[in-house]
Amino acid sequence: MAVQQRSAFQQLQKKEISLDEAIKLLVNANKDLDLGYLDQQLITSMKPNWPRDKALPLVFSENTLYVACSEEQPDAMADALSPLVNNFKVVLVKVNKASFAKAVNPAPKVATTPNGKPAPAPEKKKNILGADLQKTIEAIPAKVIDATDENAIGREVRDLMGNAAKVGCSDIHFEPSEKFLIVRYRIDGVLRDICKYPCSEQADYRKIMIARIKIIADLNIAESRIPQDGRVTEIVNGNKLDLRVSTLPTLYGEKCVIRLLPHENSFTELSNLGMEQDMIPEYESWLGMSQGMVLITGPTGSGKTSTLYTSLAKLVDTTRNVVTVEDPVEFQLARVNQVQVNVKAGLTFASGLRSILRQDPDIVMVGEIRDKETAEIAIQAALTGHLVLSTLHTNDAPSTVTRLIDMGVQPYLVASALVGVVAQRLLRRVCQHCYEDYTATPEELRILGQPEGTQLTLVRAKGCQNCNNTGYSGREGVFEIMHVNREIKRVIQEGASLEKIRNIMTGNNVKSLYDVAVEKIINKKSTIEELLRVVTKDE
């Protein structure tokens, strides 16, 4: 057999071999699995709850994932795996038991590379089989509680909620895995493992604790096969917590996520969000307009909602009718009429917006523009005497224009309605108690666009008690603001190429997201790791 360096999946992707040939390379006629042709990238791309000891992804082709498993596994495993890969079809390729066991638990002494030489790096083998991820589970502190004591379970769940609120966690994840129920907190936008509950037949916390949470959130505990969601207010340690609870059936049971919603008005000043002082007057002038559209853009978790609420809070007064249509209503604002999208009942962004416009509004906030219909109604409203605020998912401010046009909105309508666009990201602020100074390396100077040889002090995250050992505490918005001035309006009407809009912005000395983020790194507000995690240079 020819020596082969590349995985069967890679060869298939390059169309050098057919799907049949790829499978034959991986699994021979004796049903032996050839480890040399496995695709490490494909394997490591599986979600953490993928059962690495039972199923080994081989190739992905035409919306179908081909997965090796031991011949003793039931055919039904394919259906159980499908939800873990966004419901793509899963086809099982059964291999003989011994060969599969060897693939999952390789004896170190027989490990060889595809070209027959002894494997120099045993870590690589482990990585193939998800052993590194397995280790991360081992490292999570295990907790045991009396599974027969209803009160103890209830206390445990409430403790998890109380501690979450204390450390500024936005979401609590309860993740069923093969042997544990794992709990993770999202703090400042990043998930971290908190604890795990070892599960046995007598004490299956994957069922017991999730059932308890479902009772608290008034969900149907008899139903575990379909996703559910609900909202509840709980008093924990004397603090009122607004919670949004959702469940999702996964391979090892229902996964549950509790979102902790802010219930006090934390949306006060744009400068508190991290908007640069020199941008605020410009942005506030947009909000002062009696008609037109202002868009906030960025990926999920970039702080768009906070910016929208802060903006709305500035606009609410006794003389104006402010109406929103949101999915979900994340925070209740005084004197604002908030409408919750309910797709099942036929209340969508588009239909809700249409009804709002019959109710004599002055200011309308649409949670998100996802489709042409919503975009067109929103633009129509913006052209007929209403100030419309909304969000869109694009990488930067100029792309918002092209996105609207791609949705099918006429360029002249975009040009007439759009007042301005804010693009944003959130950088984690380095913890003020424990950060360390250091001198930037030549590579870092290059990333930051600084001249070679510059003496520049940057900060590094370390971790202490104040920041839960993350090295970061709180977050800071990074903003790019694009005023749609006459020059940009003209370019939009002419069919707007992204490049042209960007050139105009550069010509007008508008700072890009990247430029603003770099300034924050140089001002020691955050680290270069955060910069690279959150913003890419081409944006």
Name the residues that contact Zn ion, by CB under 5 A: 431, 433-434, 464, 466-467
Residue 202 CB contacts under 8 Å (≥ 6 apart), including other chains: 147
23 contacts 58 by C-beta, under 8 angstroms: yes
Q: Which residues pair with 244 in a beta bridge?
A: 231, 259
To Zn ion, the closest distance from the beta carbon of 471 in angstroms equals 6
DSSP 274-319: T--TTTHHHHHHHHT-SSEEEEEE-STTSSHHHHHHHHHHHH--TT
Q: Which residue is nearest to Zn ion (CB)?
A: 431
Could you give the C-alpha distances from 522 to 427, 443, 444, 473, 512, in angstroms and in order?
A: 13, 15, 11, 18, 16
Dihedral of the alpha carbons of 235, 236, 238, 239, in degrees to the nearest 10: -80
Residue 154 CA, distance from chain mean position: 29
Nearest to Zn ion of 390, 473 (CB atom): 473
Rounded to whole angstroms, the Cα distance separating 150 from 495 reads 64
To Zn ion, the closest distance from the beta carbon of 462 in angstroms equals 7
Nearest to Zn ion of 347, 464 (CB atom): 464
Closest by CA position to 428, among listed 523, 515, 534: 534
Rounded to whole angstroms, the Cα distance separating 24 from 315 reads 65
Nearest to Zn ion of 39, 188 (CB atom): 188
Q: Which residues pair with 33 in a beta bridge?
A: 27
Nearest to Zn ion of 213, 434 (CB atom): 434
To Zn ion, the closest distance from the beta carbon of 467 in angstroms equals 3
Nearest to Zn ion of 60, 435 (CB atom): 435
β-pairing verdict for 239-250 and 253-261: antiparallel
To Zn ion, the closest distance from the beta carbon of 410 in angstroms equals 52
To Zn ion, the closest distance from the beta carbon of 116 in angstroms equals 50
Nearest to Zn ion of 83, 189 (CB atom): 189
Other beta carbons within 10 angstroms of residue 495's beta carbon come to: 10
Q: Which residues pair with 255 in a beta bridge?
A: 248
Nearest to Zn ion of 414, 461 (CB atom): 461
To Zn ion, the closest distance from the beta carbon of 524 in angstroms equals 14
To Zn ion, the closest distance from the beta carbon of 130 in angstroms equals 32
To Zn ion, the closest distance from the beta carbon of 460 in angstroms equals 12
Residue 252 CA, distance from chain mean position: 22
Nearest to Zn ion of 275, 467 (CB atom): 467
